[in-house]
Amino acid sequence: VAHRLHSTYTSTTSIIPTLHTPGRRCLATQAQQPTAAQESDDKRERVVILGSGWGGYTLSRRLSPKTFAPLIISPRSYFVFTPLLTNTASGSLDFSNIVEPVRDPRSKVNFIQGAARGVNLKKKTVLCEATVVKSGVTESPRTLEEHRGTEEGPETRNKQPMHPYLEWEQGEMFEVPYDKLVIAVGAVSRTFGTPGVRENAMFFKDIGDAKRVKRRLRECFELAVLPFTTPEMRKWLLSFAIVGAGPTGIELAASLRDFIYSDLMALYPSLNGIPKITLYDVAPKVLSMFDESLSRYAMETMKREGVDIKTSHHVKSLRWGVPGAPPPYHMDPKRCLTLTTEEDGELGVGMCVWVTGNAMPKFITESLDSVEEFPTDSIHSIEGSSPAPADAEKVSWKFKKAPKNGPLLVDGYLRVQLQNEKGQTAVLRDVFALGDNAMPEKGAPPATAQATSQEAKWLADRLNKNEVGKTPPFSFRDLGTMAYIGDERALMQIPHTGDRGASNFLPEGIKGRTASLIWKTAYISMSISWRNKLRVAFRWMLNKIFGRDISRF
């Protein structure tokens, strides 16, 4: 351990060709300087945590600082309280109200702003790309990911040369040693390969996305009132499509609806009756994880509030330009996009937000695929037998994943597993995965913040007590599900804990204004810092008096 902590981060110019990213330019030429932590005589185990989201951030704060030296590596220098992200897009909260900085003088957690690009299980190192870019924009790796394509795989990657302004976003490469590694890089939005969606839709995972949605919404209103805007174009610009009627899609539609009707319409009285929000989903009902009666209540309430809900609708493509226009199609933010569905044909929209579910990021699908050198010393067991047999190195191994390039399959202790060509499974001793990028083989919890933070706390406690493999495996405890449906109404599904077991829900949960009050109280109390608990509570109160923030940055 001491040896690893003393080692410097090394420049990895020679490793660049193995990164499967044709044409990329390496900016690193000199060896990196050792950090203060590395120069110290720290004897604690270094836990490298990939990701600063619900999994990584929660785990880092819970690990015992006496035993472990946690180091978060993430392109994002902050944690986002995702359940309130929709509130920031609709001006109900400031963006700063829902983020927590990873660097915090009170915590003993170290941080490097970078993105993991590969893992060497034999050397126990992570290959990273620095993402501290000139402008301080932390979304740069996403921009690159989007350019190269993610879930659709290498064959669909954009073959065009990168736009010059993206070139400088490539960072220096360096290696970081670990004693224990925790992979919590989350998920990206699934587009199902729908033409034009990756390039033209807005996604909704991070602060940058929420800013873009708010800015575009305001932009569409300003474009709509320009004197030369035709009535037809006005109608298209003020049609907002949200694809995916799960909790995020529903809450986003509800929040934008509140914003438009309670705040924006007072500013644009001439546009009265024109703005329209439409929710699309292939499923026959919304909020499928809720009880039938709650799901029906959500649909009826939102329809009454003016949100058009189009279930059993299949989106076929999304492009810039007006309906019926011939190609070529060029991005023109001054005009509308065209969304095509199998059922309704072409429709002009000012913005389309895509929230249809999770796909794995390129780090999981490509970097964590085959294992170049079998890490015999790091194997806990193969098919239950420990230690690993000597001939295990002779066959080729891959990371074990759920079908169709799904999440990493982990065992009950969240340990990452490998699989060989004979179908045998090996469990890694010091590499763990949790959150949206991982799935326990038995009793997989839903991909939610609730489940992820439970996993992170559970793993930190097991590591602190050196109990991994010695206690019962992780099991998810369902604490209920909530969704805001607009006009101060919400739904709350309470898990049934009676005779029928935790998976059976009460036929009726709580709905309406009472549920909305519980929803607000719950999220104030769950916000991480006292600073943000108070900021959120005060902002919600101030909104009642002064309205939401309508600024467009």
Residue 234 or 401: the one with the smaller Cβ distance to ligand FAD is 401
- 239 is an interface residue for ligand FAD by CB under 6 A: no
Read off the DSSP letter of residue 448. S
Compute the distance between CA of residue 41 and CA of residue 288 in angstroms, rounded to an integer: 53
Site size for ligand FAD (CB under 6 A): 32
Buried b or exposed e, range 106-125, using 16+ CB within 10 angstroms: ebbbbbbbbbbbbbbbeebb
Residue span binding ligand FAD (CB under 6 A) among the ranges 262-270, 446-454, 496-504, 508-516? 446-454
Q: Which residues of 30-44 are buried (b: 16+ CB within 10 A; e: fewer)?
A: eebeeeeebeeeeeb
Comparison of 177 and 186: residue with beta carbon closer to ligand FAD: 186
Site for ligand FAD in 482-541 (CB under 6 A): none
Chain residues 459-478 in contact with ligand FAD, contact rule CB under 6 A: none
Termini Cα distance of the chain: 47
Q: List binders of ligand FAD among 41-70 (CB under 6 A).
A: 50-56
Sign of CA dihedral 311, 317, 318, 319: negative
Question: By beta-carbon distance, which residue lies closest to ligand FAD?
Answer: 53
Strand ranges in 256-404 using DSSP code E only, listed in sequence order: 276-280, 307-310, 315-320, 337-341, 345-349, 351-354, 358-359, 370-371, 379-382, 397-399
Measure the CA dihedral 16/128/433/194, to 10°: -70
Q: List the one residue from 5, 73, 109, 127 that touches ligand FAD (CB under 6 A).
A: 73
Query: Given the complex with ligand FAD, which of 229 and 529 has the nearer CB atom?
Result: 529
Distance CA 280, CA 276 (A): 13
Nearer to ligand FAD, 437 or 532 (CB): 437
Contact between 74 and ligand FAD (CB under 6 A)? Answer: yes
Binding residue for ligand FAD, selected from 44, 46, 76, 462, defined by CB under 6 A? 76
Stretch that binds ligand FAD, among 81-89, 155-163, 164-172, 468-476 (CB under 6 A): 81-89
Stretch that binds ligand FAD, among 327-335, 392-400, 430-438, 488-496 (CB under 6 A): 430-438
Distance CA 233, CA 335 (A): 8
Of the pair 26, 213, the CB lying nearest ligand FAD is at 213
Q: Is-contact 309 303, C-beta < 8 A?
A: yes
Indicate whether 91 belongs to the interface with ligand FAD (CB under 6 A): no
Least distance in angstroms from the C-beta of 512 to ligand FAD:
18
For the chain, give the number of residues. 553
d(CA 227, CA 280): 32
410 makes contact with ligand FAD (CB under 6 A): no
448 contacts 82 by C-beta, under 8 angstroms: no
Tokens encoding 44: 């604690």
Q: Which stretch binds ligand FAD (CB under 6 A): 38-46, 72-80, 312-320, 467-475?
A: 72-80
Please say which residue, 213 or 315, places its beta carbon nearer to ligand FAD.
213
* Contact between 83 and ligand FAD per CB under 6 A: yes
87, 88, 248, 340: which one binds ligand FAD (CB under 6 A): 248
Decide: 388 and 382 in contact? Cβ < 8 Å: yes
Element housing 422 (H / E): none
CA–CA gap between residue 80 and residue 527 (Å, rounded): 10
Q: Closest CB to ligand FAD among 436 and 549? A: 436
Binding mask 92-131 for ligand FAD (x = CB under 6 A): -----------------------xx---------------
| Candidate residues 149, 275, 361, 486; the one interacting with ligand FAD per rule CB under 6 A | 361
Angle value at C-alpha 324, between 319 and 325, nearest 5 degrees:
70
Nearest to 455, CA basis, from 121, 182, 124, 104: 182
Residues 6+ apart with CB under 8 A from 243: 201, 249, 279, 280, 281, 315, 352, 353, 354, 355, 356
Q: Is residue 339 a contact partner of residue 347, using CB atoms and an 8 Å limit?
A: yes
Task: Give the per-residue contact string, 292-321, with ligand FAD (x = CB under 6 A; - = no).
Answer: ------------------------------
Distance CA 38, CA 48 (A): 13
Smallest gap from residue 280 Cβ to ligand FAD (A): 17
Query: 176 or 336, CB closer to ligand FAD?
Result: 176
Nearer to ligand FAD, 50 or 337 (CB): 50
Q: Where are the alpha helices (DSSP H) in 164-246?
A: 164-167, 197-200, 207-224, 231-237
Per CB under 6 A, the list member of 169, 281, 291, 436 interacting with ligand FAD is: 436
The mark string for 197-216 relative to ligand FAD (x by CB under 6 A, - otherwise) is -------xx-----------
Please state the closest distance from residue 205 (CB atom) to ligand FAD, in A: 5
Phi, psi angle pair for 224, to nearest 5°: -65, -30
Q: Is 245 in the site for ligand FAD (CB under 6 A)?
A: no
Q: Is 85 in the site for ligand FAD (CB under 6 A)?
A: yes
Least distance to ligand FAD, CB of residue 381, Å: 26
Of 5-13, 73-81, 262-270, 334-342, the window that binds ligand FAD (rule: CB under 6 A) is 73-81
Q: Which two tokens stand for residue 275?
A: 């703005």
Question: Site residues (CB under 6 A) for ligand FAD?
Answer: 50-56, 73-76, 82-83, 85, 115-116, 184-186, 204-205, 248, 361, 363, 435-437, 447-450, 452
